């Protein structure tokens, strides 16, 4: 089986989606059969991406064949044009059996059976949580790509339900394949934790949040909760306790910064900016608790990373987060900063609760492996290749619904 995979997002803007694409491809390579081959179509930014996030190499198996192109994949308009106009011809020329679009968008003119992965439909359901470019891009191309897909992968039942509201006809072709967590997040030792603590001058105890600072991440509720704890005297200037935010300031962060200054939280909040991938496991491991108050998520990969690292988790009740956390974390209404203040303090002070969440989180994260996700993805590929013309006419891109 020769699979063509769109890798143009690798080397563009790094976030949870890019991590998921990369880890999916790497796990597919590790679980491939002897006669399977993966062709990854990449742009100019791929080598810099690998040097930053995979310094030991992207693929140790030799199963991933890179198809390098002249695409400037950091420039979004060029990437969109290339996906729609150039990529189909490249895939055709490489004689692939199947094409996988692992990040939302599939070319309209693709004659092969195709699999599309959709992580969420936040840009459609909550346009105020997306940039204008994302809203336009996904509104125009995402539903059409799903309608033409032979199979569609989503990471959660929550995303499945959300997507079906936009493309009800996709129901028989949808497959839920949860994401995984890398083993390295469970392996941070005391030395690496100490090194990260010294590098960032972290306090003895800290609440941690990880991600790109943007509106849907709802970091503002954490600032309001922290201000409440300060006003109650639980957090003081002299107390070795801070809220640590790890991730770059993205679009829409100005309102958050204004709130930060208005509440006078300069001595209680530490902005780290983007941390390296190598530092992330120790940053998790050293935290007293991990907080994730998002207003919408299709999965929530940082939750798995934190639970794997042995950190108690407090998460929002929104989107797929309850599905990922289960009973292994505290779930809190994302709009109630008072409830967040209570949960943030409780997870620090209640030793019995902490022990239960740490043990439950590790057990929960242990059920999410990238090899398991890859095995399920290979099964989806086999399903897509087994589709007959009584189901789908690849030449016209129309579903005939014979056997389904």
Instruction: Indicate whether 404 pLDDT > 80.
Output: no
Q: Residue holding tokens 């095995």?
A: 375
Residue 166 and residue 54 in one domain: yes
Do 43 and 176 lie in one domain? The reply is yes
CATH number for the domain spanning 235: value is 3.40.50.2000
* Total structural domains within the chain: 2
CB-based contacts of 141: which residues, under 8 Å, 6+ apart? 80, 84, 105, 108
Lookup: tokens for 396: 């016209």
Do 213 and 311 lie in a common domain?
yes
- Answer whether residue 404 is part of any domain: no
Examine residue 403 and state whether it is found in any structural domain, yes or no.
no
Do 206 and 353 belong together in one domain? yes
Of the candidates 368, 374, 306, which has an alpha carbon nearest to the alpha carbon of residue 59? Answer: 374
Domain that holds residue 56: 2-180+370-397
| R_g over Cα of the chain | 22
Q: What single string gives the DSSP state of each residue in 347-369?
A: HHH-HHHHHHHHHHHHHHHTT-B
Sign for the pseudo-dihedral over CA of 262, 265, 267, 272: negative
> Mean of the pLDDT values across residues 266-271?
95
Q: Are residues 81 and 198 in the same domain?
A: no
What pLDDT digit, counting tens, does each position of 97-154 carry? Answer: 999 999 999 998 888 999 999 999 999 999 999 888 889 999 999 999 999 999 999 9
Mean pLDDT, range 42-57, rounded to an integer? 92
One domain, residues 171 and 266: no
Helix axes of 16-30 and 370-386: crossing angle, nearest 10 degrees:
80
Q: What would the mean pLDDT of 155-181 be, rounded to a whole number?
A: 97
Question: pLDDT by residue (tens digit) across 216-241?
Answer: 999 999 999 999 999 999 988 778 89
How far apart are the C-alpha atoms of 78 and 85, rounded to whole Å?
10
Is residue 402 a part of any domain in this protein? no
Strands 392-393, 398-399: pairing kind: antiparallel
* Dist CA 291 CA 305 (whole Å): 12
The average confidence (pLDDT) of the chain is 93
């Amino acid at each position: 089986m020769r699979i063509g995979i769109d890798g143009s997002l690798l080397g563009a803007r790094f976030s949870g989606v890019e991590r998921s694409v990369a880890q999916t491809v790497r796990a597919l390579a590790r679980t491939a059969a002897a006669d399977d081959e993966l062709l990854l179509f990449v742009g100019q930014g791929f080598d810099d991406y690998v040097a930053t996030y995979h310094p030991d190499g992207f693929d140790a198996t030799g199963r991933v064949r890179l198809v390098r192109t002249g695409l400037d994949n950091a420039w979004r308009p060029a990437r969109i044009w290339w996906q729609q106009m150039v990529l189909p011809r490249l895939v055709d020329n490489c004689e692939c059996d199947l094409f996988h679009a692992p990040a939302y968008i599939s070319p309209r003119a693709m004659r092969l059976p195709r699999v599309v992965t959709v992580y969420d439909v936040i840009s459609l359901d909550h346009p105020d949580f997306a940039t204008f470019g994302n809203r336009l891009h996904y509104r125009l191309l995402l539903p059409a790509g799903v309608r033409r897909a032979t199979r569609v992968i989503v990471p959660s039942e929550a995303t499945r339900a959300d997507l079906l509201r936009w493309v009800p006809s996709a129901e028989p072709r949808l497959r839920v394949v949860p994401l995984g967590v890398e083993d390295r997040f469970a392996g941070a030792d005391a030395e690496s934790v100490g090194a990260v603590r010294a590098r960032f001058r972290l306090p003895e105890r800290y609440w941690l949040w990880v991600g790109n600072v943007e509106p849907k991440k709802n970091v503002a509720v954490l600032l309001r909760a922290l201000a409440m704890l300060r006003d109650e005297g639980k957090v003081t200037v002299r107390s070795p306790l801070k809220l640590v935010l790890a991730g770059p300031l993205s679009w829409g962060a100005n309102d958050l910064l204004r709130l930060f200054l208005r509440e006078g939280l300069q001595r209680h909040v530490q902005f780290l900016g983007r941390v390296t991938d190598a530092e992330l496991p120790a940053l998790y491991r050293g935290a007293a608790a991990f907080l994730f108050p998002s207003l919408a998520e299709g999965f929530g990969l940082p939750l798995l990373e934190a639970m794997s690292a042995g950190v108690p988790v407090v998460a929002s009740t929104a989107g797929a987060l309850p599905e990922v956390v289960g009973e292994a974390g505290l779930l809190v209404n994302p709009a109630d900063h008072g409830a967040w203040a209570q949960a943030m303090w409780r997870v620090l002070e209640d030793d019995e609760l902490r022990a239960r969440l740490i043990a439950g989180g590790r057990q929960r994260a242990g059920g999410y492996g990238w090899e398991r996700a890859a095995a399920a993805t290979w099964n989806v590929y086999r399903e897509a290749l087994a589709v007959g013309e009584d189901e789908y006419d690849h030449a016209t891109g129309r579903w005939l619904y014979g056997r389904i």
